Amino acid sequence: MKNNISHLARNLRKSSTESEKLLWKHLRLKQLEGLKFRRQQPIGNYIVDFVCFSKRIIIELDGGQHAIEENKDCERDRWLKSQGFTILRFWNNEVMSNTESILELIRKICLRYPPPPLPQREGKKIYIYRINHNLNG
């Protein structure tokens, strides 16, 4: 299974959307506050668009299909959060039309929040940061 997901991630990196290419142009090579991001990274049984492991932040870019697949996204997000990740979701058109605001929001979140503690064994508390963003306010 791991080999298949790695192969799929490699193919996704080769066929990035325009919004993924644009955001990656600004995240790659530690350009954002020296933080290392990876793209199309397998985590468990999922592949995330972008991840910064040191801050435990995942960035997902969503197209129109995500409005239809909302239940799958919720299940996936629930599992990723249980692994100690914070998930930021942006629509593709937000990235294309408001790139600087998106980058500034990602930067602020990365600097404001220390990485959440790693999940503990059953019966222990798991901390999840919830981030609401409003680009117009």
For the chain, the first-to-last Cα distance in angstroms comes to 44
In a domain, 134, yes or no: no
In a domain, 106, yes or no: yes
In a domain, 127, yes or no: no
- pLDDT tens, position by position, 26-44: 999 999 999 999 999 999 9
CATH number, position 99: 3.40.960.10
Q: Which domain does 17 fall in, by range?
A: 2-112
Residue 128 has pLDDT above 70, yes or no: no
In a domain, 120, yes or no: no
- pLDDT tens, position by position, 46-89: 999 999 999 999 999 998 665 556 678 889 999 999 999 999 99
In a domain, 130, yes or no: no
In this structure, what token pair is assigned to residue 132?
């609401």
In a domain, 33, yes or no: yes
When divided into structural domains, the chain yields a total of 1
The average pLDDT across 16-22 equals 95
